[in-house]
Each structure stands twice: as C-alpha cells, then as structure tokens.
Amino acid sequence: MLSEFDLIKQFFQRPRAGRAALGIGDDCALLAPSPGMQMAISSDMLVEDRHFFAGADPRMLGHKCLAVNLSDLAAMGAKPVAFTLALALPAAEPAWLGEFAAGLFALADLHGCELIGGDTTKGPLNICITIFGELAPGQALRRDAAVPGDDLWISGTLGDARLALAGYRREVALDEIALRAAGARMHMPTPRVDLGLALSSARLARAAIDISDGLAGDLGHILAASHVGATVDVDALPAGPVLAAQPQALRRRFCAAGGDDYELCFTAAAGQREAILAAGAASGSAVTRVGRIDAAPGLRLVDAHGQPLALQLAGFDHFASP
Amino acid sequence: MLSEFDLIKQFFQRPRAGRAALGIGDDCALLAPSPGMQMAISSDMLVEDRHFFAGADPRMLGHKCLAVNLSDLAAMGAKPVAFTLALALPAAEPAWLGEFAAGLFALADLHGCELIGGDTTKGPLNICITIFGELAPGQALRRDAAVPGDDLWISGTLGDARLALAGYRREVALDEIALRAAGARMHMPTPRVDLGLALSSARLARAAIDISDGLAGDLGHILAASHVGATVDVDALPAGPVLAAQPQALRRRFCAAGGDDYELCFTAAAGQREAILAAGAASGSAVTRVGRIDAAPGLRLVDAHGQPLALQLAGFDHFASP
C-alpha cells in the first residue's frame, strides 16, 4: 500500500530547478516575487461529477486542473511562477497518479511553473490548486478598468467545449470525429498565458477576465466592476471549428453563453488595435474584436446588422438549481 | 436560492483593511511581501469524515481549518498575512455558512490574516485553505536544521485531542466534562503563532515542525531531513489536563503518538534554554524540554529513568489501511 509520504515522493517531488527558496517537504514553501514585483494568487477547486466526469482520463485531468488556474493568471496578465496542489483521492492508485502527474507537469513545465507544496488526503476526488504569478504594480488587467468607448476583444474561439458537453449528453448529435475534436477543447483547454502577459506588460489592454462560465456571465463581471455596459456582435464571436458547422441559433447560444472556454475577454482603447493583433499573432492566439464598452449599463447582444437579439442565456452558477 | 456570487458577497467579502493590493473579486488577488521578506506558503485540505465528523459544529470547523494552516506558519516561524479559501459544499445553507465564517474570521482577525480569494463549488464537503506568511531570508525554522546535541522542546500539552477521539469512539470511558474538555482541544486547536515567531525572529530555535500526526511521526520528519536521531523522555512529555488523569500506559501512548495536537516540536542549542522559557512565557505557550538530538539515527523513547520503552506507535497516514 502506497503511503501518503511515498505518494508525494514518487509522483510529485522532482529535482529542484525552480524559483522557490524551499519547495516540497517542509511545513511551508518559501517563495519571493522578483524585487519590486507583486504576486498574483488564485485558487480553483475541481470536483468530480461537477467539473469533470467520474472516470475522466487522469492525464487530461492533470492538464485541465492546472490550465484553469493558469487561465486566471493570464486574465490578470501575470507571469506563472509556482503552484500548490491539494488532492483528495478515494485511493492511492499508482497508475492513475502517474498519468495525472504527467499531464500536470507537462503543462507546468511549458510555463515554467513549479510545484512547491500542497496536501494529500483520502476523500471524494477533489483537486485544489493555488497558483502564483508575478507582475509589476499597476500592470494587472483588473475587472474594474474598462472604459466607455473601449473595444471588446476575445481570444481564440468559443463554444466547442459547451458543444462537447451537449454531445456527451446527447442533446446534440455529433459524429465521433466532431465529438472528439470538441471534447479536446473541454478536456485540454489552452490557457492564454503569453497573450495575457503581452497585453499587460505593454499596457495594451485595460480590463480582462477569463471565460470559464460563459461569455455573457463573465463579461457581466467586468461591466459590474467597471460600472459600464457593453454591446456585443454575437455574429462576430469566433465559434470553435466544430461549433462553426452547427446551425446559427446553437452557434450564437454556445458562443455567447457556453462555458469551459478559458479564453480571454478583454477591453482596450481603439488606438491599440494594430498592437493587439500583433500581440495575438506573436503569442499564437487569434484575437477578434467583437463589440464595445458603453457608458449605459447592461449587456446588449446584437446581430451582424446591429439588430438586438433576444437570447436565453445564463452563466453557470454552481449553486443554481439544475 | 443563494447563488455562488451572493454566497461569497454575503459571507466572505468584508470591508478591505488588509495588506493585499487587491482582494476578493477579480481573477487573482495581488499581494507582495514586505520589502526584503519571503512568503511562507502552505495548503491544507480538510475532508468530512476524515478530518472532522459529519455534522461538525460549523463555527468550530471554521476555526479549525484556519488553525491547522496557521500552525504550519508557526512551525516555520512566519508571520501570518493572508489566506485563500476553496470550499466544496453539498448545499449553500446560510445558517451553516454564517457560523463557519464567524469561526473562521474570529481566528483570522486574531492573527491579522486577511481572506484574499478562493473558490466555491458544489460537492462533497471539502475545505482547502492556502495560507501566506512572511519572514526574512534565513529566518525559517526548517526541518533539516537540527544538530546533534540540540535540546528537544514541545509547546503546550499533548494527547487530549487523541483522547477525545478515543472517547468519541468509546475506546476509553470519559465522563461528559472530561470529554468536552478534551474535545475542545480536538475541535479548537490553538496555533502557536506567537511562539513560532519569537523562536524564529530571535533565532532561538534551529529546526521545528508542528505536531499534527503524532509526535513520533512528525519528529521523524525532522530526524530524516536533518540526518540525525533523537532520545525522547516519554515521561517528560506534557500530557494534556484530561489525559494526565489517565493510566500511565495510555498517557505515554497518546503523548508520543496522538494526533491533532497542533503543538510545536522544535530543537535548539542548550545555550538558549533561558531565552526559550522566556519566549514561551511571553507568548502564552508553555514550553517543555523533553529530550535531545543525537548523531546516531533513529528515535529512542525512554522513561524517566532513561530506560528504553517499547511502545506500539504509528503516525497517522491518510492512505494506510484502517
């Protein structure tokens, strides 16, 4: 039987090469931001049957639970530094743990993000990561910084993760190839870390958020915090390649209020358009202008002709009735 | 029905008065240690039926889940600064949340430790706190710093929390008053934050750990990390007031390998004895000298006459067979 300490040693303790002054193995890790920098800190907890299916592929799960945290750093424009991992497991299964760690560390290494500590315990499967990035004071892309007249931008594409969920639930008929392609967006999201960093370090964007609960809901947090409104051209929203082949009504709905997209939604002055397109190209993330910030409160969804659209939308709320 | 966002606003978002540059409500919190200081970071995950009983008093639970994290800072000698809270709840019950938050914030305010972010989701009850303290480089009480010849010290008293567990399980007969007194040690542990800080800031102690899984097991981590051994006078171990009235065999066993004590076990040069007693008195935590660090590896338990004791001891391992 694998003990708690063997488990950590075998799967999660690696030769030290990171930034932390002290990593796994003491009561605390020791970490300092670079001189003059702030730490950006975020926690996400992923629960079986809520954020992922029971029996989910452990390698993809290892990727996803770090990806959603990296996405929070991206939305702030922070550079990833380190993370802690707290893990409740029904049992210590070496095969599962090996795959989980492989998926986790592949993404961590891609972003130079070091595992510095955490906790393991027996219990219903639950994965809680707290992530640490760094940025200069004043560099953060805050939710309260949008200004009327700002352009509204989206990275990458939207809706394929939500389409995959509909496919798994058999609410939408998808062939196997389509389901697999859309499912990859759900299980292996790409955090837009380089884009976020480019937007913040060159002060290209004002406000930003990552889209985890659907664009309408998450954009709503920017609007509320900034005391502004927005007009979004729903037909300009960049649908994922699988969703793009679906009927217009579904495309509009899953783009405007999907979920699990982990793309960035950000605002920027009109004078930054060229620079933002260049930053998108340089960071390997498409960026699309989809609307504008208004002084009048509220979110207005319009079609390609500027006509108001009445869509039934709801952001995801973990405690809402099903 | 209470939404996820209302829940955070109603129970966890408070008027800002803390150190963080940005607290709850954005993709990340922003925090920097004081100039020249490091951050000490620790995560603990508490699971229902594992770390606390189903139906546990929510106010005491709010206290305990922060206390065990503060205890990790104390063991490092770090000053508490802030924490994140990730919470999986079967349902959003206002009465439960109100009590939980009251217990949590009472202890947080006592130590000037600010809640700066986190996550809430539906799921089997799980509480994951990541805590942030600060200390000067070189100030940390690390596990690998014990030296042969060091005294071995314990703060407070041991074994009452383990005795309460035995009482609840009816392995030991305790009257109601005794069970309540011992139970208070289990449900409302006192993190030795001020003592830890005094030991590290005046460089009184060398190595330290907090005793969560039983003295023998946790001291074993210091011995392994420092490549040393130790001799412990089991009869010198300070038994809790309820355990003190129990037979010697039980007293020895629950002092040497109880669990849930959240006292500090630390080593120090013999020349520091007076200063350590003074630091204990000043910080309101009794300190007791219970043994010494040896060059020879292994943990030797002896009685008051220095004779070897053969106790059946096992530290707590979350993945060991029951």
A168: helix, strand or coil: helix
Residue located via tokens 């062939």:
A175
B95: helix, strand or coil: helix
B306: helix, strand or coil: coil
Q: What are phi and psi of B211, to 5 degrees?
A: -90, 100
Please tell me the distance from the alpha carbon of residue A265 to that of residue A107, in angstroms, as a whole number: 22
> Does the residue B318 lie in any domain?
no
- The answer on A190 and A76 residing in a single domain is no
Strand order in the sheet with B298-302: B208-211, B263-268, B151-155, B287-294, B229-233, B298-302
- The answer on B171 and B126 residing in a single domain is no
Q: Residues A187-240: pLDDT tens digits?
A: 999 999 999 999 999 999 999 999 999 999 999 999 999 999 999 999 999 999
pLDDT of A1 above 60:
no
DSSP string over A184-221: HHHHS----HHHHHHHHHTT--S-EEEESS-HHHHHHH
Contacts of A92 in chain B (CB under 8 A): 319
Instruction: Look up the ipTM and state it.
Output: 0.91
- The answer on B283 and B178 residing in a single domain is yes
> Does the residue A310 lie in any domain?
no
Shortest CA gap B119–chain A (Å): 6
In CATH, what number is assigned to the domain containing residue B148? Answer: 3.90.650.10
| Token digits of residue B89 | 């709840």
In CATH, what number is assigned to the domain containing residue B36? Answer: 3.30.1330.10
End-of-domain residue from the set A93, A116, A135: A135
- Which residues span the domain enclosing A103? 4-135
Q: Report whether B192 contacts B155 (CB < 8 A).
A: yes
> Does the residue B253 lie in any domain?
yes
- The answer on A293 and A184 residing in a single domain is yes
- The answer on B280 and B163 residing in a single domain is yes
Mean pLDDT of B213-239: 96
> Does the residue A278 lie in any domain?
yes
- The answer on B173 and B35 residing in a single domain is no
- The answer on B28 and B160 residing in a single domain is no
End-of-domain residue from the set A118, A135, A152: A135
Shortest CA gap B116–chain A (Å): 9
Instruction: Tell me the CA distances in angstroms from B101 to B2, B186, B269, B318, one per residue in order.
Output: 16, 19, 41, 27
Secondary structure (H, E, C), B164-211: HHHHHCCCCCCCHHHHHHHHHHHHCCCCCHHHHHHHHHCCCCCCEEEE
CB contact (8 A) between residue A318 and residue B120: yes
- The answer on A77 and A48 residing in a single domain is yes
Residues paired with residue A44 on neighbouring β-strands, in sequence order: A129
Q: Report whether B287 contacts B194 (CB < 8 A).
A: no
Q: Which helix (H) or strand (E) holds B256?
A: helix B248-256
End-of-domain residue from the set A110, A135, A160: A135
- The answer on A192 and A95 residing in a single domain is no
Q: Which of A24-28, A256-260, B275-279 has the highest mean pLDDT?
A: B275-279
Helix B193-201 / helix B58-76 crossing angle, nearest 10 deg: 10
> Does the residue B316 lie in any domain?
no
| Token digits of residue B67 | 């206390």
Closest-CA residue to A73 (of A116, A38, A21): A38
CB contact (8 A) between residue B43 and residue A225: no
The rounded mean pLDDT for chain B is: 93
Q: Residues A50-65: pLDDT tens digits?
A: 888 888 999 999 999 9
CB contacts < 8 A, A to B, total 238
> Does the residue A307 lie in any domain?
no
- The answer on A112 and A149 residing in a single domain is no
- The answer on B228 and B104 residing in a single domain is no
Question: What's the domain count of chain A?
Answer: 2
Please tell me the distance from the alpha carbon of residue A159 to that of residue A145, in angstroms, as a whole number: 26
CB contact (8 A) between residue A319 and residue B3: yes
> Does the residue B284 lie in any domain?
yes
pLDDT for res A321: 45
- As a whole-number percent, the residues of chain B with pLDDT over 70 amount to 95
- The answer on B167 and B119 residing in a single domain is no
> Does the residue A322 lie in any domain?
no
